[in-house]
Structure 1
Amino acid sequence: MNKTLVSGSWKIATIMGIPILIHFSWFIAFGLITWSLSTQYFPKAAPELPVAAYWIKGTLAALLLFVSVIIHELSHSYISQKYRIPIASITLFIFGGVAQLKEEPPHPKAEFWVAIAGPISSFLLSAIFFLIAINTGGGPGALFFYLARINFILGAFNLIPGFPMDGGRLLRAALWSKTKDFFRATQKAAAFGQAIALFFLFLGLLLVFTGSSGGFWLLLLGWFLYMAAQSSLQQANLHEILSGIKVKEAMTRDIVTLNSALTIEDVVDKYFLRYGYGYGGFPVMDDGKLLGIVTLKEIKDVPRKDWSKVKVSNILIPHSKKWEVTPDSDLMRALELMIKEDKGRILVIEDGKVVGLITRNGIARYLRIKGK
């Protein structure tokens, strides 16, 4: 889900060190909300205003709604950072927002507070907008009444126990606290989330057949929730499968290294083309000293006409100890490290020496061989 959102998104700001992204589907939602408010809500709520004022207030209300969504997600992110859970980004899309956590919460208490922070912020915003609304009148009053109502709905809707919504995460926190088993808790919460999604799909179909305009949106929402719950369920199953397996069982032991003096042309012809699939990157070593790693990504960033002049030393990614694991490290920890650091491969180090390479493709291949 998150990869799909990020791939169609643009960065618009950075808040609290977190990139704020807008997915292309957000523009659809923004347009529909603005149109609906400008042609239906405001003409009824403040009939004395001119038509241009409806569109101005409709646009402003839509913008403030999405600001409210950002605040909702930033609330999750703020508490996550308090528990040292890194946040990759916050993405606004057609159904609201998603804060992408790089790691799972360390314990049920953290899961509870991270999950509940969003709805609490929405209810607080609802109360603030309501107080402003009752002390104003006309168009401004209608605007703030709308924001008060929509933030209350946002907070209440997110408490529905359909994982990975906030309510589903609260359910997982409760199950996790009771069973002391994170994987089982996630599986049960995700299964419940799928059931909620199927209910939305069924209700959406029913509304479509009865001619209701809300049926289509319920179908979209049900589909989105089902896919999100399915993704979470698959991730939980992967955690359970890889639990207890060591890196040495899935790592590549036949390490091929590069010299920093080689040109890109030599590297492509004599290494990437020669070794083919399974070698998407090579460690760079000079006189037994590890300098870094070169992958196809770095090579693709160099124009083809310069391959004969640019050397490996010019494009390698310098090695960092944070990208290391040992042969006895948990395989799941290695995978989480690759996801967290956005790496396709990391080095396996023992007694200061490179003894292997672990890759995402290698882990997938290991699972296929084991029939898991």
Structure 2
Amino acid sequence: MFGRGFHLFTLFGFRVSVDPSWFLLAVLIVWSLARGYFPAVIEGLATDTAIWLAIAGAIGLFASIIFHEFAHALVARRFDMPISGITLFLFGGVAHLRDEPPSARAEFLVAIAGPISSYILAAGFYLLLAVTSAGDGITPLAALFSYLTLINAVLATFNLLPAFPLDGGRVLRAAVWGWTGSLRRATQVSAALGRGLGVALMALGVINIVSGDFVGGLWIGLIGFFILTAAGSTAMQVELKQTLKDIRVRDIMNSQVIAVPADITVAELVDDYFYRHFHKAFPVVRGEQVLGSVRLKDVGQVPRENWGTTSVAEILSSGNGSHVVEPGALVWDALTLMKENNVSRLMVVERGDLKGMLTMRDLMHFLAVHRELSGGPGASEPELRQVAEDRA
């Protein structure tokens, strides 16, 4: 759902990044705090003081979100669940779990850790509020702690709503999983509630807009849309993961491969392979040994007048040695490798010999057949890449 974004820092082995959408949220929060919240709380507040308080409030909020996500990540590490990183985005933050939890108990503890951490922060800021409050009025510092107390309590409470992908939805999924023994069934139930909450929030947003609260209504509607789409995509991802988790590359790969001899010229490559077979890349071999792959992009880097004197071996991509997978590898791992290298095809090689090709098209065809035969999930290429991204 999110790209890797801009790297901020690494803490406790977790990479913390920020999605470009986060900057819009930062501007909106600073603007709303400086123009609305702090002037309303402190009578006669100077404009520059309100701006500095708003900036401090935004920093405190984002630090609180990171704290919330770190709670998830640290508990997940306790259960040996790999976390690829934490990303701040328009609607808060997310800890990227590469795999589903190993048990309902692990799911529950990882999910509940976030809201508990936010309530702990709220209690801490409330104590600071009590210490800094003046007897005859609220000080700027007390107003800041008041905001951070409120926002952490709201963050924790909202996340406890029993709708996926919120933490409360994950707690619900853990309960249904423990009761039924089926992760797939538990995901379907919690995702359905997530979609229902998303629709309800979108409707509430429309009502607010019609009532005159355009900004508030738009924000509620956007949150509802995010929950609606996230619930649907997460349910699809779980279905895809369950379908692909035990499938091997040899079960899906295309063993009828057109390979290019390494010693032919680029001109022969273009005329006899690219124009004849219309693939965008071909494996390159010398005898039985695979040397790599050649792409249209590689040909484009050779001046046309040199096509007749340049061999294919001379233009192999420097990074294509990583575009290889073994026949016995899991398709799940191959999908991750595609994502990491931003490619849609992998050479299937065993002890240096070319055995076949695995392409994104092969995966989509397999899932289409699976859907027809068993009522399982179909998927688009973006959905498959999203599954890989969550694992990478």
1:57 matched to 2:53? The reply is: yes
Alignment of structure 1 residues 1-372 onto 2, 5 Å: 2=1, 5-6=2-3, 9-47=5-43, 49-137=45-133, 138-213=139-214, 214-242=216-244, 247-258=249-260, 271-277=273-279, 280-293=280-293, 299=298, 303=301, 311-313=314-316, 315-319=318-322, 323-326=325-328, 331=331, 334-335=334-335, 338-339=338-339, 344-348=344-348, 353-369=353-369, 371=372
> What is the Cα deviation at residue 24 of structure 1?
2.9
Inter-partner Cα distance in structure 1 for 2:292 and 2:209: 57
Residue 362 of structure 1: CA displacement?
1.0
Contact 1:183 1:239 in 2 (8 A): no
Query: Kindly tell me: are residues 263 and 15 of structure 1, through their superposed partners in 2, closer, same or farther at Cα, counting changes over 3 Å?
Result: farther
Instruction: Answer yes or no: is the 8 Å Cα contact 1:284–1:316 preserved in 2.
Output: no
Q: C-alpha distance in 2, partners of 1:262/1:169?
A: 57
Does structure 1 retain, via aligned residues, the 8 Å contact 2:247–2:330? yes
* CA–CA distance in structure 1, aligned partners of residues 113 and 293 of structure 2: 40
Q: Is the 8 A contact 1:325 1:346 kept in 2?
A: no
CA RMSD of aligned residues (A): 3.4
Task: State the secondary structure of the residue aligned to 1:6.
Answer: coil
Q: Deviations over 1:269-290 (max 9, x none)?
A: 654554324xx54445445344
Q: d(CA) in 2 for partners of 1:109 and 1:264? A: 58
Change in Cα spacing, 1:281 to 1:320, as seen in structure 2 (3 Å) is closer
> What is the CA–CA distance in structure 2 between the aligned matches of 1:228 and 1:207, rounded to whole Å?
23
Which residue identity is paired with 1:114? V
Equivalent position SS for 2:3: helix
**Given that residues 176 and 186 in structure 2 are in contact (C-alpha distance below 8 angstroms), is that contact kept between their aligned partners in structure 1?**
yes
Give the CA deviation at 1:363: 1.0
Where structure 2 has 5 or more consecutive residues not aligned to the other structure, the ranges are 134-138, 373-377, 379-392
Matched positions, count: 361
In the aligned structure 2, how far is the partner of 1:255 from the partner of 1:19?
A: 39
Equivalent AA in structure 2 for residue 315 of structure 1 = S
CA distance in 1, matches of 2:265, 2:69: 46
CA distance change for structure 1 residues 314 and 363 in 2, over 3 Å: closer, same or farther? closer
- Sort the Cα spacing of 1:56 and 1:285 in 2 relative to 1 into closer, same or farther, 3 A: same
Secondary structure at 1:21's aligned position in 2? strand
Q: Normalising by structure 1, report the TM-score.
A: 0.82
> Equivalent pairs: percent with the same residue?
36
Quick one: structure 1 residues 187 and 295, their matched pair in 2 at CA, closer, same or farther if it must change by over 3 Å?
Answer: farther
CA distance in 2, matches of 1:104, 1:264: 46
Aligned 8 A contact 1:103 1:336 in 2? no
- Residues 1:106 and 1:275: Cα distance change in structure 2 (over 3 Å): farther
**Distance of 2:269 and 2:16 partners within structure 1:** 37
In structure 2, the residue corresponding to 1:11 is in which secondary structure?
A: strand
Say whether the 8 Å CA contact 1:187–1:236 is kept in structure 2. no
| Gapped regions of structure 1 (runs ≥ 5) | none
- Aligned residue for 2:86, secondary structure, equals strand
- C-alpha distance in 2, partners of 1:337/1:168? 30
Letter in 2 for 1:188: V
